[in-house]
Amino acid sequence: MWWVTDDAAESVTDDAVDADSAGDAVDAGSETRPTVVVPVEPSPTLRATVAHVVEAATDGEFSALHFVEIASWRDGDPGSDDRTAEAQRVLERVVAWAEADLDDADGDAGDDVAVVSALIGADEYLFGPDDYVDVLAEYAEEHDADTVLLDPEYTPVGNTTLLQPLEFALSNTSLTVRTAPVGRPTRPERLRSEATGVRFAAMFGLSLAFYFVLGDPLYWFDWVTGVATAAIVSITLSRISLDADPAVPRTPMRLVRGAIYVPVLLYEILVANLVVARVILDPRLPIEPSMNRMRVIVGSGLPLMTLANSITLTPGTLTVRARDSDLYVHSLLPWAREGLFDGGLERWTRFVYYGRSAARLPTPRERGDHAVLQGPDATEELPIAAADGGETDVEDAEATDTAGGAEEEVTDA
Amino acid sequence: MDAAGTLGTLRVGLIVVFTLLGLFFSFVSMTGVLRLPDVYSRAHTASQADTLGAGFGLAAVALAVGWEGAGFKTVLLLFFIFVTNPTAAHAIARAAFEEGIVPWTEGDDRR
């Protein structure tokens, strides 16, 4: 689940435990100093956050500082080793900063403060803030920490700004949450200039190429309007449309594998269309619609969107809700549902984004990551039938009441 | 002359076949929207018109206007339909789900 960055840190963990037990021993008179967990990622305010938490510790607030990096990838993905190494470098830097700050602290205030770092959550994909909080809470419990200190610029979920914020999800746990009172630089500084450059160039090139497909690349007027249009598009959308830099071996490979996927998808669409057309046109063939849930193993963002849209494009299955890694899929026929649980599209999506070896995985049925929420084969309750079903009744009742009231008024009038 | 004539006939034949297929799937889609019971199942079949109905229709157009210029744009058009259509269907279904509309199942008397 988690590991400590190095042996030195390991021994510090032991120190921390010792310090804790020592604290317990003198608990009778003095206050116990809690352990704090600080989730970190490279952000402009990371340095200031570390300084703040160390200052709080030397003031006697905390006895152990746990810096954790929550992995947004999953071990075994192509490139996960690089990202693990990168995360380790960040953690090493944070620990170095913290120890330097502790050394600088007045007197021996910082001597009994333990500094620990860990990389957690790399054994599964994490989607929304809820997943991050689960991992964080589990780590905190393991290490008897009761406080979480957040870097104000900490955004592990990437650019999925529509999700409920991490702070809110954290407020549902027993952990005390604090945000480091450090300066928040203006927004543009958040993006590393190098990264923006690559994305901007990619977006600009793509927009301009598309413009020339529609226009005439040999006509100077189209060049002027094309460059202006591409500039507007890339200024406004390069940060939204691309959440990772295009990289040389990866992006072209994905495009090539995507090109292989398109005919496969077209064939699937054709077959499914014929099956569904038959059921629609023949009144003797009944439909058996049901809502289903399937937990899919693809990364969040583009891969999830590709999978959800492929499912919707195939007649007979319709993605209704994507909740973290759970897809709620409505199926028209048992045939379509079985096909869904066989996970063909999931494997193809993994093939497109992660390559051939990543596509070999058990089907959702074999993994047990599937559930039928309705009908005779239902294995799980429909989330809205339980929660909102009651509400609907209430609304219906209210509606009838108002209607009745209105009628009465009319009669009275 | 003969070869060109055969090719021309083949092309016209394919245009007719694709147009008819496009019409057929659009018809199926229309029937589905009328026959199926609730918003979710109708969303399935409404998106069918876009995928194969429009797909075969545009394939016929591409064949008719030839590869240069307009034909290529037709392929681009098809690409955008394939990207936007499932997104729209998902948006409708999701809105219905969040409104708390329970999908129709067998034995349900709303119809």
> What confidence tens digit (pLDDT) does each residue in A25-78 have?
333 334 467 888 888 877 777 888 888 888 888 887 888 888 888 887 777 777
User: Does residue B44 belong to the interface with chain A, where contact is any CB pair within 8 Å?
Assistant: yes
| pLDDT confidence tier of residue B20, bands split at 50, 70 and 90 | very high
For residue A113, give the H/E element and its range: none
Please answer whether residues A16 and A6 qualify as being in contact, where contact means their C-beta atoms are separated by less than 8 angstroms.
no
- Alpha helix (H) residue ranges in A242-316: 250-281, 302-313
Q: For position B44, what pLDDT does the model report?
A: 84
Residues in A touching B85 (Cβ below 8 Å)? 312-313
Considering only CB atoms, A321 lies closest to which of B32, B72, B97, namely B97
For residue A110, give the H/E element and its range: none
Domain residue extents for chain B: 2-98
CA dist., res. A279 & res. A262, Å (int) = 26
Q: For position A405, what pLDDT does the model report?
A: 36
Cα-based distances in Å from B85 to A315, A392, B94 = 12, 30, 14
Q: For position A406, what pLDDT does the model report?
A: 36
Q: Min CA distance, A348 vs chain B (Å)?
A: 17
Q: For position B19, what pLDDT does the model report?
A: 93
CA dist., res. A167 & res. A35, Å (int) = 19
User: Does residue A319 belong to the interface with chain B, where contact is any CB pair within 8 Å?
Assistant: yes
Q: Which of A81, A80, A86, A49 has the alpha carbon at shortest distance from A65?
A: A49
Q: A278-320, pLDDT tens digit by residue?
A: 888 888 888 888 888 888 888 777 888 889 989 988 888 899 8
* pLDDT above 70: residue B47: yes
Q: For position A26, what pLDDT does the model report?
A: 38
Residues in A touching B98 (Cβ below 8 Å)? 321
CB–CB contact A289 B28 (8 Å): no
User: Does residue B25 belong to the interface with chain A, where contact is any CB pair within 8 Å?
Assistant: yes
What count of CB pairs under 8 Å joins A to B?
115
User: Does residue A42 belong to the interface with chain B, where contact is any CB pair within 8 Å?
Assistant: no
* pLDDT above 90: residue B101: no
pTM comes to 0.60
> What would the two tokens of residue B23 be?
């019409």
End-to-end, the C-alpha distance of chain B in Å comes to: 60
CB–CB contact B100 A391 (8 Å): yes
CA dist., res. A164 & res. A168, Å (int) = 7
3-class state of residue A255 by DSSP: helix
Chain B residue closest to A270 (CA)? B52
CB atoms within 10 A of CB A147: 18
Domains of chain A (ranges plus CATH)? 2-188 (3.40.50.620), 191-241 (no CATH), 250-385 (no CATH)
CB–CB contact B93 A318 (8 Å): yes
Q: For position A43, what pLDDT does the model report?
A: 75
Mean pLDDT of chain B: 83
CB–CB contact B86 A291 (8 Å): no
Q: Min CA distance, A245 vs chain B (Å)?
A: 22
DSSP for B43-65 reads HHHHHHIIIIIHHHHHHHHHHHH
Q: Which of A323, A300, A297, A293 has the alpha carbon at shortest distance from A130?
A: A323
Q: For position A196, what pLDDT does the model report?
A: 67
Strand duo A326-331 + A317-323: pairing: antiparallel
Q: For position A215, what pLDDT does the model report?
A: 83
CB atoms within 10 A of CB A227: 14
User: Does residue B31 belong to the interface with chain A, where contact is any CB pair within 8 Å?
Assistant: yes
User: Does residue A307 belong to the interface with chain B, where contact is any CB pair within 8 Å?
Assistant: no
- The residues pairing with A119 across neighbouring beta strands, listed in sequence order, are A3, A69
Q: Min CA distance, B60 vs chain A (Å)?
A: 17
Q: Which of residues 237-266 of A touch B (CB under 8 A)?
A: none
DSSP for A310-334 reads HHHHSTTEEEEEEETTEEEEEESSH
Q: For position A108, what pLDDT does the model report?
A: 67
> What would the two tokens of residue A219 be?
């006509």
> Which residue ranges of chain A lie beneath pLDDT 50?
1-31, 159-164, 186-195, 385-413
Which stretches does DSSP call E strand in A287-410? 290-295, 317-323, 326-331, 370-372
How is the beta sheet containing A290-295 ordered, strand by strand? A317-323, A326-331, A290-295, A370-372
User: Does residue B88 belong to the interface with chain A, where contact is any CB pair within 8 Å?
Assistant: no
CB–CB contact B104 A276 (8 Å): no
Q: For position A193, what pLDDT does the model report?
A: 38
User: Does residue A318 belong to the interface with chain B, where contact is any CB pair within 8 Å?
Assistant: yes
Q: For position B111, what pLDDT does the model report?
A: 53
ipTM value for the complex: 0.87
Chain A residue closest to B41 (CA)? A332
Name the residue with tokens 């120190």: A15
- Alpha helix (H) residue ranges in A123-219: 129-142, 166-170, 193-214
Residues in A touching B83 (Cβ below 8 Å)? 309
User: Does residue A375 belong to the interface with chain B, where contact is any CB pair within 8 Å?
Assistant: yes
